[in-house]
Chains A and B, each alone.
Chain A
Amino acid sequence: MNFALFVQYALSGITVGSVYAIVAIGFNIIYCTTGIINFAQGEFLIVGAMIAISLSAVAPLPLAILGAVLITTALGAAVELVFIRRVHNASVVRLIIITIGLSILIREGMLHIWDEQVRSLPYFTGTDSSTITILGAHISLQVLWVLGVSAVIVTALTLFFRYTTTGRAMRACSDDRMAARLCGINDRWMVTLSFMLSAGIGALAGCVVSPITQTQYDMGAPLAIKGFTVAILGGLGNSMAAVAAGLLLGLLEAFVVSQFASAYKEVVAIVVLLLILVFRPSGLFARRGTSVRTA
């Protein structure tokens, strides 16, 4: 493998990895406020991309993407208001089953709206053949879009959670919901907001990556698995570590594909997931002694 090829694989790994990181952050946002792992997280990306594809037929691309993000955010709110809010004191198994059911319903809904066809958004700038050359590797302009948008999402979320009142209120809820409630924070609204936020960033990520990876109704589940792997790898709830873990998994996948048959690409993430669950369930970056086996 020469250097240019190495850069090529590395960049493609980082691109996919940053999408995994966004999915993982979506998991984290909901997990922190509710303790729920939302198995329908991957579906948010696909719904977002699909809506944008449909809207782009009638509206300019930026408007279509904005519309898609807003509609998916509304879908996230609907999911919380209609389903999650209804269950009180539910066991973990019950919550898992509900979100799995949701993911199936959303997926089947998409199948009936958008059929099985593989679609994609147009490239944001230039065409699929316009590239720039970095260190001898040819990089599609869309890759820069993915990296840029991911960076913006991560930065914006960090600022939101650190400096805005709403963001701080959400963090307070994830630390101690009862205490937050006693401080006058409307914790139920924060839960709804967390679903909206993670649906919204999911939709945006789905739109940006759509020109590269294409979009099909059933691509949500594999994305969810990888996002979850990344979330666990970084330690559940730790969004900054999720970015690092996402890039790590993306790179790992890219180089496995470069060496082995791409049929086994899916297996990489799952093997990583099983290994990390067995050996370091609190994540790569967690301090020793913390245990999440009771989660």
Chain B
Amino acid sequence: MMRLRIYYPVIAAAVLVVAMHLVLAATGKTYYMTQVTMSAYYALVVIGLCLLMGYAGQISLGHAGFFAIGGYTIAVLTTHDLSSYRESAPVEWLLSLGLLVQWQDLYGRQALSFSPWLAFVAAMLLTALIALAIGLPVIRLKGHYLAMATLGFGLIIYRIVLGAKIFGQADGISNVPAFNLIGGLQVNGRAPFRVQNYYIAWVAVLAAMVLALNLIHSRVGRALRSIHESEDAAHSLGINTYRYKLATFILSALFAAVGGALLTHYNGSIGPSEATVMKSVRYVAIVAVGGMANLWGAMIMGVLLNFLSLRGVFGSYDDAVFGAILIGIMLFAPQGLLRVPKLRAVLSLLPRREHG
């Protein structure tokens, strides 16, 4: 029974999601659902990063890069026209398997592209491969070195999507088709699909939460926490710290890529602004506000702060707000906002006499 208890909040969250729908519908503000849906996909990135930062204790300043890898892979594969290769054997083979879809471009021409399902699988595989290739050397580094290396990775991804023709350079890629899930459900940003997409996004987030909760309450989760507390101690107990850290890195990259892929389908487009360092820093800020090793905090803050940001509440101070959040949280409440700071911690910030 103990094990089941960790899932009670998931049920509570599901009830809240439905309640929020009813409240929005009753107040005639269903248009808020669009931003909630987008925020939920960003929250996926945050949940993954929370596993890496809060539980494995490894910082990543390149998670916007993984988000972009997921999103851009989807965008390229589902919009790149393969008609000119129609006669070639691999394309015919894929077509016979039903993995390609016909669609009409803006000018009414027939175009042929990979199906979203295939693109999704490809995006996940590619993300896992890149995360593995980057993680293998980088995850051995610590502290500042790891931070700078992941920052460097993020910058390279940003430069590539900004510079390469296939990724649309500064314009990004638009006209990404909807993602047809089972039973008529589809990830689609147009107004008639608003309600079902609200639920699709929340199902994705809650599924991610169940997965993450399951992980941290397992043997793996205990190993990760011991690594966070003291890597040497964990190592001496026979925990293969390197492998656990690497696996968490890849997993959290995949969470980010799922968020990127689904949001790209939802928005119908992706641009280089999704890959900026500022986006990566923003995810780190949200994990910090949530309380680092606090999945629920990360998820709630992920949805809330992204929602406020998308609604334009912060105006032209958007980035500054996240910068201030970072400093404020790290100075005054390193345990996150959802835990009451101890009185002593507050008192220690008051000026006091110098004693060496």
| Residues on A facing B (Cβ under 8 Å) | 37, 83, 86-88, 90, 92-94, 96-98, 100-105, 107-109, 112, 181, 188, 221, 225, 228, 232, 261, 263-264, 266-267, 270-271, 273-274, 277-278, 281, 292-295
Contacts and interface: CB of A to CB of B under 8 A. Distances in A.
A277 to B, nearest CB: 5
Interface in B123-147: 137-138, 140-145, 147
B288 interface: yes
B294 to A, nearest CB: 15
Given A96-B147, A97-B59, A277-B149, 14 more contacts: A83-B327, A96-B143, A97-B330, A104-B322, A105-B323, A107-B323, A181-B356, A188-B354, A221-B277, A232-B148, A263-B163, A271-B156, A278-B137, A292-B145
Contacts of A96: 59, 143-144, 147
B81 interface: no
Given A83-B331, A112-B316, A277-B145, A225 B151 contact: yes
Contacts of B163: 261, 263-264
Contacts of A103: 323
Given A102-B327, A181-B356, A277 B138 contact: yes
B9 interface: no
Contacts of A100: 61, 281, 284, 323, 326
Given A97-B330, A105-B324, A270 B155 contact: yes
Question: Nearest 6 A-B pairs (CB), nearest first?
Answer: A104-B323, A101-B326, A108-B320, A101-B327, A92-B143, A278-B137
Given A97-B288, A101-B324, A277-B148, A293 B141 contact: yes
> Which of A90, A94, A102 counts the most B-chain CB atoms under 10 A from its CB?
A94
A31 B140 CA distance: 21
29 contacts: A37-B147, A37-B148, A87-B331, A93-B57, A93-B143, A94-B334, A96-B147, A98-B327, A100-B284, A101-B323, A101-B327, A104-B326, A105-B323, A108-B323, A112-B316, A225-B148, A225-B151, A228-B148, A270-B152, A270-B155, A271-B156, A273-B148, A273-B149, A274-B138, A277-B137, A277-B138, A277-B145, A293-B140, A295-B143
Interface residues of B, number: 46
A98 B333 CA distance: 12
Contacts of B153: 274
Contact of A86 (B144, B317, B349, B356): B349
Interface in B222-248: none
B250 interface: no
B53 interface: yes
Contact of A293 (B145, B152, B288, B330): B145
A83 B316 CA distance: 24
Interface string B296-307: 000000000000
Given A98-B331, A105-B327, A93 B152 contact: no
